[in-house]
Structure 1
Amino acid sequence: MAGPTVSVIIAAYNAMPYLTRCIESVADQTIGREQLEVIAVNDGSTDTTPAELERLATVYPKLLRVVHQENSGGPAAPRNAGLELARGKYVFFLDADDYLGPEALARMVAMAEKNGTDVVLGKMVGVGGRGAPKSMFQRDQPKTDVFNSRAWWTLSPMKLFRHSLLKRLELRFPTDLRTGEDQPFVGKAYLEASGISIVADYDCVFWVLRDDGNNVTQTTSGSEPRLRYLARMVDMMIDSVPAGPNRDHLAHRHLTVEVRTLVRWHLSREPREQQEKTLARLAEIIDPLLHEGLRERITGAAWLRLHFIRERMLDELLEVDRFEIRESASKAATPLLIDNGRAYVRYPFLRDPSRSVPDAYYEVTDRLGTRHHVSRAELRGTELHLAGHAYLHRVATDEVTTALLLRERDSKVEYRLPVTHTPTPGLGADQDAGHFAYEQAGFEAVVDIDTAADGKPLTDGLWDIYLTVGAQGLSREARIGSKRDKDLDGKPDIRVVDTAQGARAVTLYTTKPYGNYTIDLGEQKHRVMSRLPVEAFRWSASDPGMLVVTGQSTLGAYPDGDLTVVLTGDGKSTAAFPAERTLYTDSFTARVQVSELPAGLWRGELRLGDWAAPLPALPKTLPPTKWRRLGRTWYAKPASGGDGKKFGLRVAQTSVVKAIANRLKP
């Protein structure tokens, strides 16, 4: 008999009243109980957990298997006991405090089956104030690995594992670790997996903060347990991943998250003598991971922390941590020192001669943030008019050097254009507790496509718009448009304008998904004639020999008198009829005097200067029409336009013989 699809393993210790909801959430999974088995291991609980497990086993006799064992002191042993009994194709570890969304297992199994992956992360959501990891759940990732995702930033075991992977690796949770026992287990599975899937579009696991504060990670204190599992993870990375960017990617998590937690919540609370021992041991553990190339990946405060650990500078380490705590509670970002065109963050011991910390550890020149807002972006003839403000965060707008930059997307050709700097009194007062002012951050610019290329016309292409935001000798490049006034909707404004090179197609639009401004010259993405759809044909009520053609223009502008309907006959003769704009609307109308056309089959197109598009086929419901010319009867009727989708109009003189014959028919 085939085994279940998923074995859900629950380690339970004094888990009431959370345990009931936990198991019920598994029983209610949409994948179906017949696809599941639940193995709940009571790890010597002293509350009502054993009795509740026995009760639930009677409620779900075919689903739930209960195991009782003496207390082991942690979740590793009960999880291992459950793993020994598991029969499922997949295994999911669920803490007794937590619970699942109804579709969680169905979605995770489907992701694993479709992509052949060995580990699936389901989106985690914090409950009751518990923080849950978020960075890896920004989007679904059908198949990835730890080096091209943020999966390594969640090493808890609440994942779906392919059972064959765990068997092949003979994976078990280390029972000699009081906390962090999940990291070596999950880390090894990640590194050996055929692939990792991430389900981000559904809340799969609800991570609960217990009211009594008895989550295992909350109750295990002291530096020593964390030093033990940190050392084990460092050894794993060194043994499994060659030195280089991949190892640095994994090390980043431990050198920031783990180290900060250990220093802030454990080392800082120890007696002085123990602090020094902890610091020495921590320095030994992380030393194999540290090198100067990592500094580009790690924030300034985090790198200072690592520097003081490596140098065994305990007082400085504790001061940096206290500084970080104060800064995180503040509503203002840390001020900068601007010196000789470089920016340094004012963290403790900057240029303190008694500490001799290199300036480079404080430098943030290449990390300065730019902030901008566009208040005007409009095409007027050949000119684009822009206005707004832009500044470097935490850098006062003195000696402003901001300029506009146009860069063609494919060729990378670029042109720098001047802007007019305008005052922005009060800008910054509502940010950073008003500690920074940006009084000269405004800009106004005019881009003339006839002269923007160093006095010459811009070539056809996609011209992305940037600002080089500069002040006090600092400069950073930024795309603009993502922050703009609400009335600037960013929809494509397609125009045909008269230029020094003749009529040209110009479109101002914002990119997706980032919403930045780009000029499209020469219809790279936006077609002129698609904005001039012909919508209706009818015969004039006052003149049966006149075909009225109407359409809608969504062009921002086009030259007056250039839009025409042109018909071409069998003998290549042509007839043109102007399409006039309807006052106060976006519609246009052309009146085609069919009664003046020679006999024959006529094709048709709509022209705007050098642009042209075939007219659509006349509707089959349009009736023939007749008129008199020089005493004879003529008619016009829809005709096949070739493929049945293009315009065709048959004009002919009525046959007298056929007309008499038709009248004589009984």
Structure 2
Amino acid sequence: MTSPPDVSVVIAAYNAMPYLVKCVESVLEQSIGVERLEIIAVDDGSTDGTGEELDRFAARCPTMRVIHQENSGGPAQPRNVGLDLATGRYVFFLDADDWLGTEALERMVATADANGSDVVLGKMVGVGGRTVPVSMFRRNQPRTTVFDSNVYWALGPTKLFRRTLLEDLGLRFDPRLTVGQDQPFTATAYLNASVVSVVADYDCYYAVRRDDGGNNTSRPDGALRRLPFLRAVFDLLTREVEAGPKRDRLLRRHFQSDQREFLTHLLAETDPEQRAAVFEEFRGFVRAWCTEEVQRGMPAADRLRLWLIRSGRLDETLEVMRHTLEDRATPTVVEKGRVYGAYPYFRDPDVSAPDEVFDITGELAVRHHLSEVSWSGSRLRLRGHAAVDRLGGLDDGSELVLRERESGAEHRLPVTRTAAEPDAPRTGGEDAPAGFTAVVDPARAAAGAPLPRGLWDVFLNVVVRGVAKEARIGSQRSPEVPAGRQHRVVRPLDGLVTTYYTNPHGNLTLDVGGVKHPPPAAEVTAARWAPQERATLLLSGSVDVVGPLRLRATDGDGRTVDLPVETAEDGSFTCALRLGDEEVLPFGTWSLALRPDAEGAAAPLLALQGTLPAAGRRWWRRARPVYAKVRGTRKEVLLTVAPVHLGAAVRRAVGLR
């Protein structure tokens, strides 16, 4: 029995020349192999040679099939025709204007097979000025849902779907919807998917903006044509998702993104009666489903428009939309720690919109950059610059905030404002951001006491003109700032303090006590006997730890001895073991390690390792011959100190052994 193809690629095509050529070629060149695909192209009554070009491709590709039909008026019906004929394990809907990255289908199928995915999103790229969703493609997401990621903000059908999911749901595109028919289709698949995956580390889908505007649905009746699909998705969400934060999250996408699209098209409506009627129907959607919880977190311009819609103010709503589309300057008003955008009708007594809908405080981004992250002794020094968009550089009173990730405990440290650095970028048209320095002393950062064990994330609380904005810092830093982990010995702490940058966001964190980063091993690069001191062993090497260390020797009986070590800022160390004195290291076989020279008893051990040839020496201790031998492996360094057995020594001397 012949195995089904991995993917059925469905292409609905209407007057798609010349874009169609690259579209189909990109499918034929897929790294997964054309033999693992079936290509179903549906010519929806094209008149520009699209049908003939599809036939030419099919003539040389045995896995490609072309269906010709009369024009249906939209992509829904031809996509359904392709879906009805599909036999692949997965289905991918490809618009005839667009094209695929060479490895797109191979990567998406591999992701789906590895994770049991029902829907896989491949990273999208806009071509020719085409706008595409981006927020869900910041990192790979092997297993997610619409409630745990931003995938719901990508409701187009150009994704990989498990065909059995679509068949079990009886899911098809609604041909009665002349625009937006993809939204109810994709939303239904998302809500019923066991696993949704995102491939973000490869450019999978290239969405093309046509020079002739052929993929632009702007028409005088564009707002009217959007009402049916909006009604369909609102009905779907209220039917399929229980009222509460999850439903609010999905509704927010429509009342933010689709509200903007709807009003943009409503501005183009020339019939005043139709404009008023369409506005009134959309107002009904807002009154029924757009609660305060749905609006929470939206930009002020969206909240203002939705308030005006709910109030039935058509002309004012369109004026605010016009203000947005024309990218007009919006002055700011700062009062009592809040910032307001003076959009049209701000504090207009005839409109009486509340100040809350103009509040842009939550929208203002903190711009920050670290120029230095360095240790001086046991203190960490930070230097950089910061500003708040549209307000300017940080003022006195700004603070560094250390917040423990698990418990939420926090400690605030002062920040010193300095002159702006010459290369500091300007933000929001304001003056260059101010510079700052801050010092973190882990031994005293907890209100004068040592920082407890934990992961302490670093934030900057930027105060500008009485407005406080907090931001995680570290992701923006100079090339001179060390990118790797830095381990530091801080005497009052039991363990090490490790600075590192989180993955994938690259933010600065202090690991106190090895919560996430165990102590690194130390490498012994040389072991030699001192030429002038017969019983002195010299060890040298390197370790990725800076600060005072001790050499810890442990024998099989649990005895421990700590010996002095000399360390340098570059992580190199040396140790002179003067073994002539019995009190330094008694007889026995000792395993060697390094230990932070900290005050606590629970300081971690740093394993000592290094491939060393066995090196031995004899000397006299209290009129008795003694020998010592050091040997090293990739796992440990051992030192044996023991008396010489005289009988064995004599036999060796006369050649009997």
User: Aligning the two structures, in what range does the TM-score lie when normalised by the shorter sequence?
Assistant: 0.7 to 0.9
2:470 and 2:479 mapped to 1: Cα distance? 24
Shift of 1:349: 0.8
Shift of 1:506: 6.0
> Corresponding residue for 1:478?
471
Shift of 1:356: 0.6
> Corresponding residue for 1:351?
347
> Corresponding residue for 1:537?
527
1:437 and 1:586 mapped to 2: Cα distance? 42
Would you identify which runs of 4 or more consecutive aligned residues in structure 1 move more than 6 Å? Answer: 425-429, 567-572, 574-577, 628-633
Instruction: Give 3-state SS (helix, strand or coil) of 2:176's partner.
Output: coil
> Corresponding residue for 1:362?
358
Q: Is the 8 A contact 1:494 1:526 kept in 2?
A: no
CA deviation profile, 1:501-545 (whole Å, cap 9, x unmatched): x686663624313444445555555667x4754332123456665
1:65 and 1:569 mapped to 2: Cα distance? 76
Tell me if 1:307 matches 2:307.
yes
Q: Is the 8 A contact 1:179 1:220 kept in 2?
A: no
> For 1:4-83, what aligned pairs fall within 5 Å after superposition?
4-60=5-61, 62-83=62-83
Q: Is the 8 A contact 1:622 1:638 kept in 2?
A: yes
Kindly, what percent of the aligned residue pairs are identical?
42
CA deviation profile, 1:405-446 (whole Å, cap 9, x unmatched): 44444444444444444555999983323xx3478x554555
Q: Is the 8 A contact 2:490 2:497 kept in 1?
A: no
2:284 and 2:577 mapped to 1: Cα distance? 89
Indicate which of 591, 613, 626 corresponds to 1:621: 613
Q: Is the 8 A contact 1:506 1:519 kept in 2?
A: no
Q: Is the 8 A contact 1:9 1:94 kept in 2?
A: yes
**Residues 646 and 188 from structure 1, CA distance in 2 versus in 1: closer, same or farther, beyond 3 angstroms?**
same
Which 5+ residue runs of structure 1 have no aligned equivalent? none
**Residues 506 and 358 from structure 1, CA distance in 2 versus in 1: closer, same or farther, beyond 3 angstroms?**
same
**Residues 449 and 245 from structure 1, CA distance in 2 versus in 1: closer, same or farther, beyond 3 angstroms?**
closer
1:614 and 1:254 mapped to 2: Cα distance? 55
> For 1:70-219, what aligned pairs fall within 5 Å after superposition?
70-215=70-215, 217=217
Q: Is the 8 A contact 2:564 2:575 kept in 1?
A: yes
CA deviation profile, 1:11-46 (whole Å, cap 9, x unmatched): 222222233333333233333333322222222222
Instruction: Give 3-state SS (helix, strand or coil) of 2:327's partner.
Output: helix
The letter of the residue matching 1:16 is: M
2:427 and 2:395 mapped to 1: Cα distance? 22
The letter of the residue matching 1:487 is: E
**Residues 486 and 114 from structure 1, CA distance in 2 versus in 1: closer, same or farther, beyond 3 angstroms?**
closer
Shift of 1:647: 0.8
Q: Is the 8 A contact 1:505 1:523 kept in 2?
A: yes
TM-score under structure 2 normalisation? 0.85
Tell me if 1:509 matches 2:499.
yes
Shift of 1:661: 6.5
> Corresponding residue for 1:488?
481
2:607 and 2:33 mapped to 1: Cα distance? 57
Shift of 1:264: 1.6
**Residues 268 and 313 from structure 1, CA distance in 2 versus in 1: closer, same or farther, beyond 3 angstroms?**
farther
Structure of higher CA gyration radius:
1
Indicate which of 394, 399, 402 corresponds to 2:390: 394
> Corresponding residue for 1:603?
590
Q: Is the 8 A contact 1:384 1:448 kept in 2?
A: yes
**Residues 596 and 108 from structure 1, CA distance in 2 versus in 1: closer, same or farther, beyond 3 angstroms?**
same
Shift of 1:350: 0.9
Which 5+ residue runs of structure 2 have no aligned equivalent? none
Tell me if 1:336 matches 2:329.
no
Q: Is the 8 A contact 1:427 1:438 kept in 2?
A: no
Q: Is the 8 A contact 1:400 1:472 kept in 2?
A: no
Shift of 1:359: 1.2
TM-score under structure 1 normalisation? 0.84
The letter of the residue matching 1:621 is: P
Q: Is the 8 A contact 1:349 1:355 kept in 2?
A: yes
Q: Is the 8 A contact 2:462 2:469 kept in 1?
A: yes
> Corresponding residue for 1:249?
249
Indicate which of 578, 586, 590 corresponds to 2:575: 590
1:143 and 1:644 mapped to 2: Cα distance? 38
Shift of 1:557: 3.3
The letter of the residue matching 2:590 is: R
Shift of 1:150: 2.2
Instruction: Give 3-state SS (helix, strand or coil) of 2:614's partner.
Output: coil
Shift of 1:594: 4.6
Tell me if 1:645 matches 2:636.
yes
Instruction: Give 3-state SS (helix, strand or coil) of 2:638's partner.
Output: coil
Shift of 1:394: 2.8
Instruction: Give 3-state SS (helix, strand or coil) of 1:327's partner.
Output: coil
Q: Is the 8 A contact 1:617 1:648 kept in 2?
A: no
Shift of 1:650: 4.7
- Number of residues paired by the alignment? 648
CA deviation profile, 1:91-126 (whole Å, cap 9, x unmatched): 222222222223222222232233223222222222
> For 1:427-442, what aligned pairs fall within 5 Å after superposition?
430-433=426-429, 436-437=430-431, 441-442=434-435
Instruction: Give 3-state SS (helix, strand or coil) of 1:210's partner.
Output: coil
Q: Is the 8 A contact 2:384 2:436 kept in 1?
A: yes
Q: Which moved more, 1:224-233 or 1:298-307?
A: 224-233
**C-alpha RMSD over aligned residues:** 3.9
Q: Is the 8 A contact 1:9 1:91 kept in 2?
A: yes
2:619 and 2:220 mapped to 1: Cα distance? 98
